[in-house]
Amino acid sequence: MIRSMHSAGSELSKAISVWGLLILLILLILVFSALRPDTFLTYFNIRSILSNKSVQALVALSVLIPMTSNQFDLSAGFNVGISQVLAIGLQGQGLPWWGAVGAVLAMGALVGLINGILVTRVKIDSFIATLGTGTILYGLNAWYTGGQQVLASLPPEFLALSGNTGVVPSPAVYAGVVAIALWDVFEYLPLGRFLYVLGASPRAAELNGISAKRYITLGFVTAGLLSAFAGVLVAR
């Protein structure tokens, strides 16, 4: 009897840890729908929420990647800021929109690579290393803008990146695709399992031939790339 209750409690605890946020989201939707039935579940409000919060979701997903290996990326917000500025500023300096986007994404990947090198090779704690790179990005952002707003005439093709896919805001589609892709990686692919093992026991990962330098650095590079892409979407 006691063993059965303990097992049931363990299963319930596991279910809450996995599905707790989703359950909370559903409860919040139900509460606000009851409190504001005329305005909350309207197309305009749902579209506004999806459009505004999807970029934040992308940043959260980017931070999640190195976190699975017990690493922190505090440079993500700074990466978004400078990516937004460069996506606009480079076009204002005559670069085509696709070239500006490519340059920003390359910069984001480079930031992630630097973070990975500092953490895995220089052996600096990820909290300190990424805070340092983030501070440098903040300084570069201030230097590039001169403390002023960056303005440029943006082409329709660039603005379409943050437009609509059918009736759904495109940023929400991007966030959904990235979320599904990461779920697939962490649940079913060796790469995701390697990151989990590196986060749980680096020594066990080393004994099993899992390279921390390779996979943690790859996680940081992917995180930097996603943060930069989120900055591009903010620049609309």
The answer, yes or no, to whether residue 8 has pLDDT greater than 70, is no
Could you tell me if 111 and 82 are in contact, meaning their C-beta atoms sit under 8 angstroms apart? no
Q: Are residues 172 and 202 in the same domain?
A: yes
**What percentage of the chain reaches a pLDDT higher than 70?**
96
In this predicted model, what pLDDT tens digit does every residue of 41-60 receive, in sequence order? 888 888 888 888 899 999 99
Q: Are residues 33 and 129 in the same domain?
A: no
- Helices within 36-165 (DSSP H only): 43-67, 76-92, 97-120, 126-145, 156-159
Tokens 């809450």, residue located? 16
User: Is 166 a residue whose pLDDT tops 90?
Assistant: no
Contacts 24+ apart (CB under 8 A), 166-169: 167/43, 167/47, 168/47, 168/50, 169/47, 169/50, 169/51, 169/54
181 and 226 inside one domain: yes
If asked whether residues 37 and 87 sit together in one domain, one would say: no
User: Number of structural domains, the chain?
Assistant: 2
pLDDT digits (tens, 9 = 90+) for 192-204: 999 999 999 988 8
* Of the candidate ranges 30-34, 41-45, 87-91, 105-109, the one whose mean pLDDT is the lowest: 41-45
Tokens of 223: 């995180």
Residue 10 sits in the same domain as residue 120 = no
Residues 79 and 188 in one domain: yes
Residue type, 87: A
In this structure, the answer to whether residues 130 and 27 fall within a common structural domain is: no
Please report the pLDDT score of residue 206 as a whole number.
Answer: 85
Q: Which pLDDT score is estimated for 36?
A: 87
- Angle between the N-to-C axes of helices 190-200 and 212-234, in degrees from 0 to 180, rounded to the nearest 10: 110
145 half-sphere exposure, CB direction, 13 A CA radius: 20
- Mean pLDDT, the chain, whole residue set: 90
DSSP 25-66: HHHHHHHHHHH-TTTTTSHHHHHHHHHHHHHHHHHHHHHHHH
Whether residues 17 and 86 fall in one domain: no
- Co-location of 112 and 31 in the same domain: no
Model confidence band, residue 7 (pLDDT cutoffs 50, 70, 90): low
Range of the domain at 32: 1-41
Query: What is the three-class DSSP state of 18?
Result: helix
What residues are paired with 168 via a beta bridge? 165
Asked if 102 and 144 sit in the same domain, the reply is: yes
Same domain, 17 and 130: no
The answer on 97 and 67 residing in a single domain is: yes
Given pLDDT bands bounded at 50, 70 and 90, which one contains residue 235? confident
On whether the CB atoms of residues 227 and 109 are closer than 8 A, the answer is: no
Q: What is d(CA 19, CA 211) in angstroms, rounded to the nearest whole number?
A: 31
pTM attached to this predicted model: 0.89
> Helix, strand, coil % (nearest 5) of the chain?
80, 0, 20
Task: Count CB neighbours of 215 within 10 A.
Answer: 21
